[in-house]
Chain A
Amino acid sequence: MRSEPYIQNKTLTELRTDLQKVQEGVALALIQNGYTDFAQFAIRLCLEESIVNAFRHGNRSEPGKVVQFHCKIDHESAEFQIQDEGVGFDPAGVPDPTAEENLEIPSGRGLMLMRAYMSEVEHVAPGNMIRMKYKNGPDPAQ
C-alpha cells in the first residue's frame, strides 16, 4: 500500500501526448492505492472528458494555450483540478442531453458523465476550472 499521496502539478501543452502521460501516472497511483476496476474506469473517463474539454472548448484549441492539471491521490480519495485559459462557461446553461428533445444531439455528454461517475464535481467561477473528487470505496450499485 502506498503511504505517500501521489501529487502532480503539471502544465499540459499538447492534448494527446500530455493526456496520455497524465493517464498513465494516475492509473498507476490508483492501482497502488487499491482503487477498484470500476473506479479506474470512471476516473480515466472523467480525466479524458475534462482535459479534452479544457483544450477544445476552454482553450478553443488555440496554439500556445495551456491547461493546468493538479491531482492528489491517496487511499481515501482521488482529487483533480483542471484549469484552462478560456473565458469560462455557465454549467447551468448546458442543455440536459438526456432530455427527449436532446437525445439525438451528438454533443454535450462529457459533463454529464463526470457528474455521474465522480463523487463531487465543482465548477469554479468563471467556469474555466473544474474540481473533481472520487471517494475510494466499494463500487456503487449498478
Chain B
Amino acid sequence: MSNPTSVLNISDEAGVKKITFMQKSIIDEVVIHQIGKEIVAVIDGAAQPKVLISFNGVDHLSSAALGVLITCHNRVRVKNGQLYLSDISKPIFEIFKITKLNKMFQIADTSESAMKNFK
C-alpha cells in the first residue's frame, strides 16, 4: 500500500505491517514528520499492532528520526503490540548503539528473521 504523497511503503504480511522507507536519508524534518504521522496511523489502526520497520536502503538518519521511532515504540507498547526494526546498516546501527536505543528496540538482522519473531 502506498500513495503518491506517502514517504513509506506499507504492506501486510501475515498480519504484520511491514514498513520500508522511500528515502535513503531520513533527515529532513518535514519528511520525518510525515513518516511519524504515517507510522502512528498504522499503529493506531490496529487493536494490537504488529509492526516491522525495515531500514533496507537507508543510509542516513538523524536524532529527530530516532525520536519518531521512540514515539512509535511507546505507542506500540501501550497497545501490547510488537515492533521490530530490521535491515539496519552498520553505520546506522552505530547510532543506535551510541544512544543505547539498541537495548530498547527489538532489532533483527533481516526482515525475514524479524518476521519469525512475531507471535
The chain A residues found within 8 Å of chain B, CB to CB, are 15-16, 37-38, 41, 44-45, 48-49, 52, 97-98, 103-110, 112-113, 116-117, 142
Contact = CB atoms under 8 A, between A and B. Distances in A.
B64 interface: yes
Given A107-B67, A142-B90, A142-B94, A113 B60 contact: no
Contacts, number: 56
Given A41-B91, A49-B63, A110-B62, 13 more contacts: A45-B60, A45-B95, A52-B62, A97-B99, A98-B100, A103-B103, A104-B70, A105-B70, A108-B63, A110-B64, A112-B98, A113-B95, A113-B98
A40 to B, nearest CB: 10
Contacts of B91: 37-38, 41
Contact of A103 (B28, B29, B30, B101): B101
27 contacts: A16-B29, A37-B91, A38-B91, A41-B91, A44-B60, A45-B95, A48-B27, A49-B62, A49-B63, A52-B64, A97-B99, A103-B103, A103-B104, A104-B104, A105-B70, A106-B66, A106-B68, A106-B70, A107-B63, A109-B66, A110-B63, A112-B98, A113-B98, A113-B99, A116-B98, A117-B98, A142-B94
A48 B62 contact: yes
Interface in B69-88: 70-71, 73-74
